[in-house]
Amino acid sequence: MQATRIIAVRHGETAWNVDTRIQGHLDIALNDTGRWQARQVARALADEPLAAVYTSDLQRAHATAQAIAQASGAPLVAEPGLRERSFGELEGRTFAEIEAELPEQARRWRQRDPHFAPTGGETLVQLRERIAATTHRLAAQHTEQLIVLVAHGGVLDMLYRLATGLDLQAPRTWLVTNASINRLLWTPQGLTLVGWADTQHLDTGSRDETVT
């Protein structure tokens, strides 16, 4: 059977994560905690037999992926198809600001309307199609191998839904933690969930450590 093992990793923390500010396609850097998280997840994956590390081209994901690639020796490939959902005019605003300034868009976003696109952004249906197609294309190049996909909260959420068959409007009951390790199996028939939200590597280690 053709199969590819996938480790999906959300980028490390940014200041905008802390502020609950929507990043979308805006290119926000990791903060100090995020850089530490990137080092920790890189160490956790250093001995995995990685064939390649694919990453969103946004710097918060790319920096996280670069740490993993350096620790493992695997090639690093930027892949725009792994970008976060485009949130259009919602980008740069906090949740509270969206509720106050754009209440109708906030309502449809909260309700997870699959066909709602923030002005200038993507719908959930479009995001699902993009992530499914990108994952299929990358995984099909690495049958019988292990690859890493470094991406964003919305992308990881969609991978979980694709692997479990959950509807786009189903409330999220699973964690999508910064720098968590999430394992999936790809076959030509689709994705299967293997393990989710492993954060043991973030529970240990001094935050004063330097990159080794």
Cite the active site residues: 11, 84
Q: How far apart are CA 117 and CA 13, in angstroms?
A: 25
The C-alpha atoms of residue 45 and residue 187 are separated, in whole angstroms, by 23
Give every CB contact of residue 205 below 8 A, 6+ residues apart in sequence: 40, 43
Structure tokens at 6: 């996938």
Using the 8-state DSSP alphabet, how is residue 58 labeled?
S
Q: Is the separation of the CB atoms in 54 and 77 below 8 Å?
A: yes
Contact, 3 vs 33, CB < 8 A?
Answer: no
